[in-house]
Amino acid sequence: MKVWKFGNDVDTDAIIPGRFLTINDPDELAEHAFEGVRPEFASGVQKGDVVVAGRNFGCGSSREHAPLALLGAGVHIVIARSFARIFYRNAINTGLLPLVCGEADEIEDGNGIEVDTAKGVARSGEKEYVLEPVPSFLQEIVRAGGLVEYAKNLKELPLCTGLE
């Protein structure tokens, strides 16, 4: 499990460029993940690797192809100082876990990393990093493994009653 480190404002065009959006299959999308900005990613990424970034990860377009490309590449966790709103929701919905970490900037590229989601910590380069929990109203969806599974098990639509 290794760290693929990125900077601030990683936009969804960087994660998966517009010309590949006719592809809907995660594995095929993964072949083009970060193609323009980090060409070695697609061939080097291993199952279980973690993407780590600075502020505003996933800004820009609403394309769900972005979290799908990461999932197809075997990345199931993204740790960032903060996330753009639509990407964050898309990630939760598709089963990619977006975790906020105030010290994400300190995590180094290429280092090994272990994420303990139950304890809410990540260990990398001899240090332990605290991860913020996903907001409670989204946890049910995370537990279900995404919005599709959540919806399948929905007995009744909790219209305007709030999810908490």
Partner 1 sequence: MGATIVEKIFSSRCRKPVSAGDVVMAPIDRAMIHDITGPLAIEKFREMGGTKVFNPEKIVTLFDHQIPADSIRAAENQVMMRKFAAEQEIFHYDLFEGVCHQVMMEEGMAEPGELVVGADSHTCMYGATGAFATGIGSTDMGFVLKYGALYFRIPDSIRLEVEGRFPYRVGPKDLILSIVGDVGADGATYEALEFTGPTIEAMDMAGRMTCCNMAIEMGAKTGIVPPDATSWEYLQERKEVKPFDLASDPNAHYAEFRHYEVDSLDPQVAMPHNVDNVVPVGDIEGTAIDQVFIGSCTNGRYEDMAAAAEVLGGDAFSRNVRVIVIPASRREYLKTLRAGVIERFVEAGALVEAPCCGPCMGGAFGLLAPGEVSLSTSNRNFRGRQGSAGAEVYLCSPQTAAASAMYGIIIDPREV
Residues making contact with partner 1 (CB under 8 A): 9, 11, 13-14, 17-19, 21-24, 35-37, 55-56, 59-65, 68, 82, 84-86, 89-90, 93-94, 135, 137, 146-148, 151-152, 157-164
Q: Which residues pair with 53 in a beta bridge?
A: 80
In the complex, least distance from residue 104 CB atom to partner 1, rounded to whole angstroms: 14
Write down how long the chain is. 164
In the complex, least distance from residue 31 CB atom to partner 1, rounded to whole angstroms: 14
Main-chain dihedrals φ then ψ at residue 23, nearest 5 degrees? -85, 135
Would you say 86 or 97 has its CB closer to partner 1? 86
Would you say 118 or 136 has its CB closer to partner 1? 136
> Taking Cα atoms as reference points, which of 69, 59, 54 lies closest to residue 5?
54
CA distance 136 to 144: 13
- Position 39: which residue type? P
Would you say 30 or 115 has its CB closer to partner 1? 30
Structure tokens at 20: 């590949």
